[in-house]
Chain A
């Protein structure tokens, strides 16, 4: 009897599911696949991305393009897939030379593989008209030593320091006074003493903090030939510095091991740490997951090794590229450059996605920088554009050429876990040598 009841209940819920499914399929809200407003005679272009938010960006930009270029209209279809399998699928499709899209978003961890194997088309000529208006290091990063660039960043941004002002005020430290890492450590000691809280955190499952400190020193994870190059003096110096902070208790391993885990979001939101060092696009995580920190966070420049160093590096980030095999190479390139580098595109990216604009003119445009309705500007107590303006456009970006993808995979799976958590007493150079030896290439 009871069983029959259970079966009835379960069947009823399944029926509900079926009913629920109808509007889901009928309405097709564009979250899984999106198109712009198709026009007659438009050229079909296909696009792959792994991030739902990007779908609307690309379809909107296609509509803007069609308005401005009635002679070369585009009918764009954006497909959104799951990140892991999308990249592996794209890699294999490229290898097979079949089933590739015209344009795709590629995550930085995978980017090197595509450049390496020659699956991307150089876009130099399409970027040229914009060259004087944009931060070119955010384009050249997706390039090779021969001077070709294969993509434009989507998710690469200026690294900044996010300070929790409640904690900083309690410790009586003004973040504006922190210039060097030694200043940062001194401030950290005060914070620890006054509040018992750590100054900052480091990831073991990702590499933002050590990479940032490496880039400040101009050091990269791969050598000029693109081979993994973990054992460098700069890398040792960075690891020792972070370890020093850990020893002092002013730096902890991020709960969850990374800055994108639920444990970390909860920890951060509950005033767990005084400072987070991440790129500007991380603002979106604050507005999405840290409602309690609204109006408590201030953005300042990152600490550097020596006074006078440029207080900004570029970190991230997904790049967008034209894939070999496209039948509309020129159109795809021109559209890509337009969407990413035009004023319209940058404005959309900033307003909706919170990515710092690649076009420098927007940094001085009060409609952008003083916009009271912008959720990012409303959330933080300082204006991020001040940092962008202060440091200009000659910035260091990660070298993602050659075997960067392979190297990255080792760094985030073993190297930093060993360096900062598991083998904390092992000599840094020795540890890095061991990590270097473990990479298969």
Chain B
């Protein structure tokens, strides 16, 4: 079958169009970050830029240390790293249990996983919040993280992924004298690298960008995470567009970095752990 240049051109043109639409808002934001916030308010967000007035002042202010931006940044980094790490380890652990063993109550337990997967956390946000208060975790990073250390979606994914790995590996491990947990740590963990990469990006995105729950748990400006911090700049007592716009641009970087580094594994892991017929 030979390739048709006409079709190729059409397809590429289509995707260039899609790419333009995709990048457009980001480009607008970036252009805005070079303009003074005042001007933005007056003229609206657009591509008109007076290069004479364009400058990096907003970034300079961002880096000057005279604001809480990097405190939020560090908070977000800590929460994301800890939460994603715990979620990957614990969820893969559970997923392994579901994939490799037959046991009493397995179907029921897995139904529970599906149940939790279907119910948005937002539904139970109110009792969950009261629980976090009772546990004394309110206004702490642990309070943000704890309800999200075992993620049903990740369990589901790891179970799918591991069910694609022949059970012979497990049996071979047992013959070699590995304990049940040794099999998991020594044999399975290395095999799950692509799955970890895929879910690391997935959960990293969710965690870095999480807004609703951290907004509820944390009330102190020095403890809030980046999305909540950026949102707080839009207060009715004076909008701080200078930090908001430049800070928004800069907020994309860590997660973009993660994605660029691991995206090869991401598609691989997604394919292997994806839903099978």
- A touches B (Cβ under 8 A): yes
* Beta-carbon contact of A85 and B222 below 8 Å: no
* Beta-carbon contact of B261 and A7 below 8 Å: yes
- Cβ-based interface call for B84 (8 A): no
* Beta-carbon contact of A82 and B215 below 8 Å: yes
Number of interchain pairs (Cβ within 8 Å): 127
Q: Closest CB of chain B to A289's CB: distance in Å?
A: 7
- Chain B 139-168, CB-CB to A under 8 Å as 1, else 0, gives 100000000000000000000000000000
Stretch from A9-17, A144-152, A340-348, A379-387 that touches the partner: A9-17
* Beta-carbon contact of A16 and B63 below 8 Å: yes
* Beta-carbon contact of B63 and A269 below 8 Å: no
- Cβ-based interface call for A288 (8 A): yes
Q: What residues of B have a CB within 8 angstroms of the CB of A20 in the complex?
A: 62-63, 65, 70
- Cβ-based interface call for A375 (8 A): no
- Cβ-based interface call for B188 (8 A): no
- Cβ-based interface call for A129 (8 A): no
Q: What residues of B have a CB within 8 angstroms of the CB of A288 in the complex?
A: 238
Stretch from A157-165, A258-266, A395-403 that touches the partner: A258-266
Residues of chain A in range 348-366 having any CB-CB distance to chain B below 8 Å: none
Q: Closest CB of chain A to B256's CB: distance in Å?
A: 6
Residues of chain B in range 181-231 having any CB-CB distance to chain A below 8 Å: 215-216, 218-222, 224, 228, 231
Tally A residues with Cβ within 8 Å of B.
Answer: 53
* Beta-carbon contact of B63 and A80 below 8 Å: no
Tell me what chain A mostly uses at the interface: helix, strand, loop, or mixed. helix
* Beta-carbon contact of B68 and A31 below 8 Å: yes
A32 CA to B219 CA, complexed, in Å: 11
* Beta-carbon contact of B70 and A17 below 8 Å: yes
Tell me what chain B mostly uses at the interface: helix, strand, loop, or mixed. helix
Stretch from A22-30, A130-138, A227-235 that touches the partner: A22-30
* Beta-carbon contact of A32 and B68 below 8 Å: yes
A13 CA to B69 CA, complexed, in Å: 15
- Cβ-based interface call for A440 (8 A): no
A27 CA to B66 CA, complexed, in Å: 8
Interface size class on chain B is 35 or more
Stretch from A86-94, A183-191, A321-329 that touches the partner: A86-94
A265 CA to B237 CA, complexed, in Å: 13
In the complex, the chain B residue whose C-beta lies closest to that of A19 is B63
* Beta-carbon contact of A85 and B257 below 8 Å: no
- Cβ-based interface call for A270 (8 A): yes
Q: What residues of A have a CB within 8 angstroms of the CB of B222 in the complex?
A: 32-33
A142 CA to B63 CA, complexed, in Å: 42
* Beta-carbon contact of A7 and B216 below 8 Å: no
Q: What residues of A have a CB within 8 angstroms of the CB of B133 in the complex?
A: 92-93, 96, 98-99
In the complex, the chain A residue whose C-beta lies closest to that of B126 is A92
Q: What residues of B have a CB within 8 angstroms of the CB of A196 in the complex?
A: none
* Beta-carbon contact of A17 and B257 below 8 Å: no
Instruction: Answer whether A10 and B231 are a contact pair too, CB < 8 Å, given A21-B73, A266-B41.
Output: no
Q: Closest CB of chain B to A263's CB: distance in Å?
A: 8
- Cβ-based interface call for A81 (8 A): yes
Instruction: Answer whether A7 and B257 are a contact pair too, CB < 8 Å, given A82-B228, A262-B241, A266-B41.
Output: yes
A16 CA to B65 CA, complexed, in Å: 12
- Cβ-based interface call for B232 (8 A): yes
Instruction: Answer whether A262 and B41 are a contact pair too, CB < 8 Å, given A27-B65, A51-B237, A82-B219.
Output: yes
**26 chain-A/chain-B pairs, Cβ below 8 angstroms:** A13-B250, A13-B253, A17-B70, A20-B62, A25-B70, A31-B66, A31-B68, A32-B68, A32-B221, A33-B221, A51-B237, A80-B220, A81-B219, A82-B232, A82-B235, A84-B215, A85-B215, A99-B133, A99-B138, A262-B41, A265-B41, A266-B44, A269-B42, A270-B42, A285-B238, A289-B238
